Structure formats: structure tokens, C-alpha cells
Chains A and B, each alone.
Chain A
């Protein structure tokens, strides 16, 4: 049994529309399932709330990136022009900070953007070439016009037969067992 479970990723139900998916997700969440995820061809409004997702950390990561870029950018120019390679240009002070603003600004934007994109990818665990869901043939449709809801077998409430029944009771079509092997 233990061996069986380890190869089982979860149960996947398929829905016709985004609204059906949201209704089903709310019921699954209310039934006490925690390890659930939905798969949709485009970002569906209200789905995050239906699944009970918390606020994500991308904004914080972006802020940290922006601060690092801005402060680091300015500090670097200061170090170059004041400490490492001071040059008298038309009698201006070594720390002629207004002239350092354009580069500081660009570095803020650059690092905030890099952190936003790579932070988002890292939190999402991408790149991830293999995933058990790709074993399901119909899952290809998740990138066209079908909406999927998956209850993962790691959930404490997961029970193969009961959970499958529950998904079917929510008008899910093609309830499939997702296996990882």
C-alpha cells in the first residue's frame, strides 16, 4: 500500500468552464482539502480566493531587488568616483550625486525586474521539465480550453475512492488518477 501511494500524485477532475471550476474549488476547499491546485488555460479571476491561496511573496522579492540595485548602484558609483578613481571634472565635488542618479535609477529598475522574474520562476519551481500531470493525456487541453482541479495524494484527507466520488459529485468529467512512474 505504501508503495502504491508513493507512485500516486493525486486525482484530476476536468471541468468545462472557469465558473464550474471555481464552484468546485470552493467546495473542495470547504470540505477541508489542503493540497489542491487548479490548472487553467489563462489566469481565472477569483480562483486564487476559491482555492484559499495566500498572498504571494513576489512583491517583497521585487522590493528587495530594487533596493539592492538602487543602493548598490549608488554605492558603487560613489566608491568609483570618490575612493578608487577620483577625478576632478570641472571642479565639481567627487561625490557629485545628481550625476549618479540616472545610473542608480536604471540599476533599481534592472534588479527589481530581474528579481521579480527569477523570483517568480523560483517560487513556482520552474523550470521543471517533468511533472506527473504530464502523464495524463487529456491534460494537454489545460493549455487550450479545459479547466482542471487536482486533489493531491499527499493531502491527509485523501482517499482514492472517496475523493474520486467527491470530485464526481462536483460535476467533474474524466476523473483520472495521476500516477508518477
Chain B
């Protein structure tokens, strides 16, 4: 047929669906220049300064909130028996979940050999670290007595006591601290070649010294690359089961307990899917302004945004499945406490949270079936924010509704957050954003060496 000559083949780059992961025309030097210049030569803009000043002042508010907490104790929060786990634990689970997308992108997509991971893995890993830092703050402060936190770690005390290893709260300590450490290692070894690049291109003595120390004398030797690649691959293989285990262990904090609405076997997979869901939403929330502010549209292309949208849709459906089965199994069990809990979610005092959660997490992402929405940057940004709010609400619903309606009506209660609760939540958002602001100007936000590899790979493909 004559028309076949005019229609490009299905895998042709002319078809928009297959926007390349790196816009054409880039060389080793151009990707290096573009990414390194953000750190080394770009002057501090008004936007960055204003953003940093704003987030820094929010961090100051966090320190006030935490200092007041340490002075007065947890009475300044809305928690009380029966709802002893309020915002602090909601925020902890939310933040730790957000971190999961970074590890998923850097480890699982690496093992699956997905080329589109390259330009987003670095800042997604940074996001993981900062999210874990925000999350780790809450177990530390949630009892109002951070000077007791070391009790959680096994150390030879002169009281002769040890932590209780049968408790999920101790598993949590090990899971979260291992996760933080391994994420840091993964991020750092990925950074070593890029730090060497920055060292070699540094304009000032200070930059040379700082990046030189951090690069540890990396010189790109083939023998070094050989071991480096092996270590990186192994670390990806280790981080993959780790990331799945972390939110599983976090869900054990709930599912091992017998509280209605918590004691269910669906929690581990549904928590992990929810974690990846909210994490990808956060990666989009960061990627969209980042590519705009620093002109990185060539590196973080529509392909990346669309793929992330697809992952959100997929994990969103798993989460919807989780909600459905949580609901169904409660009714099917015939257990009167479980059935009552479902009624409380639908008609109880916190029902509006539950409906908002269904709207944010189940209805909104269905728009992502439409390609026009997946490729609309503004729509994706708004949706990523909505999903983040939805995932926060999910943790609120799980924790507060279950605790407020325990087995005996005499033990029922209500919870409402105080200004200090909100100050702490907003404060960690400020801390997270401030760390990102510092990261973007202090370290390469995109993995330079991996982008050079991608250039080499593309050149081979076109030959």
C-alpha cells in the first residue's frame, strides 16, 4: 500500500508516545557542562534565595515546635488515651513511604535495565534520604523524651536489660536504620564519579578541596570501574528486597496488634504499594519544578513524566484493590468489631476523611488513563499533590479511626490535632524542601556519569 511509506513505523521516534529519554544532539561534554554548571557556575538566583529563606524559616518553626515539645511533653499535641498515636505516627509512615520511590527508581529500575531511570535516579535517591530523615525524626520525638531513644538499640547496659526482639517496634528500628544507611551508601557510591567530575571542573580552591575530598581520589580507572559496577549492581540487588521489607515491617507495627482495622494480612503488600504510589507522586512534585527552574527538559523528558504517571496509576490500582479487600474482608469476617469499624469509616465522626481519601487516591488517578492528562505537566503536578494528600489521609484513617473506636465503648475517644501538631508536620515539609534546595545547588541533581553512558548508548543505537 502506498500509505505505508508515509506512516512512520510504530517504534519511530517521530511518534510522540516514544519521546526519547534524552533529547538528541547531546555529547559527553554537553551533558557534563549542563549538569555541572548548575552546581559550579550558576549564580544564586532570586528564586532560589527566596525559596531557601522561606523553607529555612519553616525549619525554624519546626525547631520551636520541637523545643516546646521537649519542654512541655506530648500534652501540647492532640493525643491522649485512647488515641496515643496521632500526627507523629501518621507523619512517620507517610514520610517513610515517600522514600520508597527513590529506592525503587534507583534499584529496581536499574535491575530491570530501564533507561529512563538515569536522569531521575539521583534526586529521587536524595528525596529518599531526606524523607527518611524527616520520618526518623518522629519516632525520636513522638514520646517527647528523645533522650530515651537509645533504649531501642541493643547495647550492653549496666542494668542488664536488652530490647525485646519479638516486638515489631524493634524490627522497625532495624528496618528504618538499615534503610537509611543503605540508601546513603547507594547514593554516595553513585555520586563518587560525579564528585570527581566536579573536582576536575571546579573554579575555586574551596570547591576543589570540598569536592576533591568527597571524590576520594576517583580517577575513572578501568579497574576501579570494574569493581564499582559490580558493587553497584550488588547494592541494587540488596536494596530491592530491602525496600519491600521496610514498609512491610512498618505495616507490622499495625498488623501484629489486634486493634480492629489493623489486624489484617493484607497490610504488608498494600503498604508497600501505597509507599511507592506516594513516592512517585513526590518524585513528580519535585521533578516538575526542577526541570522548569534549571532548564532540564532535555534530560527529564515527557517520557519520564509519563512513565511515572503510569507507575502511579498502576500502584494506585493496587492500593484501590487493598482498600476494597480491607472493606470486603471486614464484612466477610463477620467479626462484629471489624464490621463496626467499617461502619465507623463510612458514617463515623471521621467519615469525611475517608471520603476525601477515596477521592484523592482512587478517583483522581483514574484520570491518568487518558494520555492527554499523562502528558499535561500542570495536571500531573496538581495530581501528584492530591495523591500525596490522599496518602497522608490514608495513614490518618488507619491510625485515628481504629484507635478512636476500640472494643469497648467506654474506651472510645476523639482526636483533634493542635497547632503544634500542624507546626511539626509543616515543619518537616519545610525541612525536606530546604534540604532539596541545598542539594540542588551543592551536588549534581542528575547522575552525570550515567548520562554520559546514556549518550554512548544512544550513539551506538544510531550507528
Contact = CB atoms under 8 A, between A and B. Distances in A.
Contacts of B185: 113-114, 117
A81 interface: yes
A42 B193 contact: yes
A53 B160 CA distance: 52
B223 A42 contact: no
Contact of A58 (B29, B197, B201, B230): B230
A3 interface: no
B165 A40 contact: no
B193 A143 contact: yes
A66 B227 CA distance: 18
Given A53-B223, A106-B178, A130-B217, A18 B166 contact: no
Nearest to A57: B227
B325 interface: no
Interface of B: 27-29, 32, 154, 160-166, 168, 170-171, 174-175, 178, 181-182, 185-186, 188-189, 193, 196-197, 199-201, 212-213, 216-231, 234-235, 238-239, 241-242, 245, 249, 252, 449-450, 452-453, 456
Contacts of A59: 230, 234
Contact of B227 (A56, A106, A110, A113): A56
A117 B189 contact: yes
A42 B453 contact: yes
Interface string A106-128: 11011011101101110110111
Contact of B226 (A56, A96, A142): A56
Interface string A125-152: 0111111011000011111110000000
A120 B181 contact: no
Nearest to A73: B174
Contact of A41 (B226, B235, B452): B452
B29 A53 contact: no
A145 B448 CA distance: 11
Contacts of B199: 143
B32 A133 contact: no
Contacts of B200: 140-144
Nearest to B226: A48
Q: Which 10 A-B pairs have the closest CB atoms?
A: A127-B216, A145-B28, A120-B231, A128-B217, A102-B171, A38-B222, A99-B166, A43-B225, A140-B200, A143-B197
Nearest to B229: A43
B133 to A, nearest CB: 18
A89 B164 contact: yes
Given A85-B161, A102-B171, A119 B226 contact: no
B227 A124 contact: yes
Contacts of A120: 189, 227-228, 230-231
A106 B173 CA distance: 10
A40 to B, nearest CB: 5
Given A116-B238, A127-B216, A102 B249 contact: yes
Contacts of B161: 85
Given A109-B178, A120-B230, 9 more contacts: A41-B197, A44-B456, A59-B230, A66-B238, A96-B166, A102-B245, A109-B245, A119-B231, A124-B223
Given A102-B175, A109-B238, A143-B193, A42 B450 contact: yes
Given A39-B219, A80-B154, A145-B29, A124 B450 contact: no
B32 A144 contact: yes
A121 B200 CA distance: 20
A144 B201 contact: yes
B212 A129 contact: yes
Given A37-B223, A102-B249, A106-B175, A112 B238 contact: yes
A114 B27 CA distance: 35
Contact of A113 (B181, B216, B224): B181
A103 interface: yes
A126 B166 contact: no
A85 B162 contact: yes
A77 B238 contact: no
B222 A53 contact: yes
B314 to A, nearest CB: 26
Contacts of A113: 181-182, 185-186, 235, 238-239
A126 B154 CA distance: 32
A175 interface: no
Contact of A56 (B162, B171, B230, B238): B230
A127 B249 CA distance: 36
Nearest to B186: A113
Interface string A24-64: 00000000000001111111100110010100101100100
A27 B160 CA distance: 66
B234 A110 contact: no
A100 interface: yes
A59 B226 CA distance: 12
Contacts of A173: none
B222 A51 contact: yes
A40 B222 contact: yes
B295 to A, nearest CB: 20
Contacts of A144: 28-29, 32, 197, 200-201
Contacts of B224: 124, 126
Given A85-B162, A106-B245, A143-B193, A133 B238 contact: no
A84 interface: yes
Nearest to A145: B28
